[in-house]
Structure 1
Amino acid sequence: MAADQPTIVATSGGFRAGRRTNLEFHRLVHHAVDLSGVHGRTPRLCHIGTAAGDQRWFNADISEAGQLAGWEVSHLNLFTMPPTTDVPGFLASHDVVWVGGGSVANLLAVWAVHDLGSALRDAWQAGVVLGGVSAGSICWFVGGSTDSFGPELRVITNGLGFLPYGNGVHYDSEAERRPTIQAAVAAGLLPETHCTDDGAGLVYRGTELVEAVSERRNGGAYIVRRDESSGTAQEESLDVRRL
């Protein structure tokens, strides 16, 4: 089975501390698996940890979380080399691709070297659900704000562009995220930009935003647009369904 149309789940969440393990998959990752339409067999999730440097200890935590969830989890490590000569086929064999957080600038640079963008686009169009947190959210968009270069946020605009918007993550938990995004939209550096508080996610079918969801009791989602008459950024709060 595959999602009935190209689907992306872009989030500021997805993981939580486990009761007996370091990590468990939270509701946003479970929602991505549900959206893949898999049934009658074990779901297959591919984790990509490029943004954090393919840390093997974290891969182990993700694999353990998969065991708890009853899923088959594999990892597409690019350091020191990909696990296969057929990366497009490897991605296509999964139901969900989940991209972890870290440095989105470094992620995009390494992905470009391996031409991973085209393989991910093929998987997305074939019905593999793409998702991720933080850097693993921004990467699907035109760009967004990042601390990839240091503690002062900068704006990148070289995202994969599967979704023709900007993206803002950790909108409520890091004080400079909101003003940085609003300034970038007001200046025309970013197009219409979709943002999530911690624990929230945005679901896209094709390139259309169809729903905002959250794995927490609070936390919102927002659209920031440029008002052409005033040259300022205008923010709209979205309805959020609690998972």
Structure 2
Amino acid sequence: MKIDLHNHSKYSDGVLSVKELLNLAKEKKIDIMGLTDHDSVFGVDEAYTYGKEVGVKVLKGMELSTFHKGQTVHIVCYFKNNVIPKELYEFSQNIINTRLQRAHKMINKIKDYYKINIDEDFLFKNSCIVTRGNMYQCILHSNPDIDHTLAQQMISDDSPCYIPASKMTTEEGIKLLNNLGAFKILAHPTLIKREYLSEILDLGFDALEARYPKNKAGEEDFFKVEAKKRGMLYSAGSDFHGDDKHAMIGTSTLNYDEFKPIIDKLEIGDDF
């Protein structure tokens, strides 16, 4: 059994629609797929329903964006009985509104500074929650001959056009998710500076994404040991987006025995 707990669709910065994503998951022989769009839960019900049609079980989740001492900290979260709390839909809508305002400002700055055309209709028509990943895809779409590295620079932290996203602290994010009864996974710990890892984990996670495509040699074992030492579980996720910067779905997976402790925590039976 192949279980991939970290994937994105067009409801955040993924390239594929929910149906396209699940068709691909089926093709890659994924048995259980987690949908974890950035700060958005608006795709999970569609995914769950279509998953039943194609024979891929869907775990409904989200990837919450937070920060800690300048470090971006993403929290993959899932919920008891595979039910998203209604408060999270309200939270997602507020984030969407804020991100749309930021995107308009950033796109206008990029157009003025770099003197390029950007098809804003494409950007906002094809994205639910507009992230920098969506802006990058839109720049490429609007300027087919542009250098990809330059396009990436336009939206980078160092860009003169960059506007920081409004994010909560990791401590605030943990508190929010605790109030909603969430199961909290520290996403891609390999991307976090090692000197901050311990204090971030001290904030109260339930699991560590130990198996991840961008891990360096020996890191999976290190993260598993760290999780066990803290009485946490470990998870796996490909962080699939459908672009050229992220891994293919099914690259990093759990087997059923590894996944069973997670669904036990979520109080979900095998037939969900």
Give the strand-richer structure, 1 or 2.
1
Both structures adopt the same fold (TM-score exceeding 0.5): no
**Length-normalised TM-score, structure 1:** 0.35
Give the helix-richer structure, 1 or 2.
2
**Length-normalised TM-score, structure 2:** 0.33
Higher relative contact order (CA 8 A, sep 6+): 2
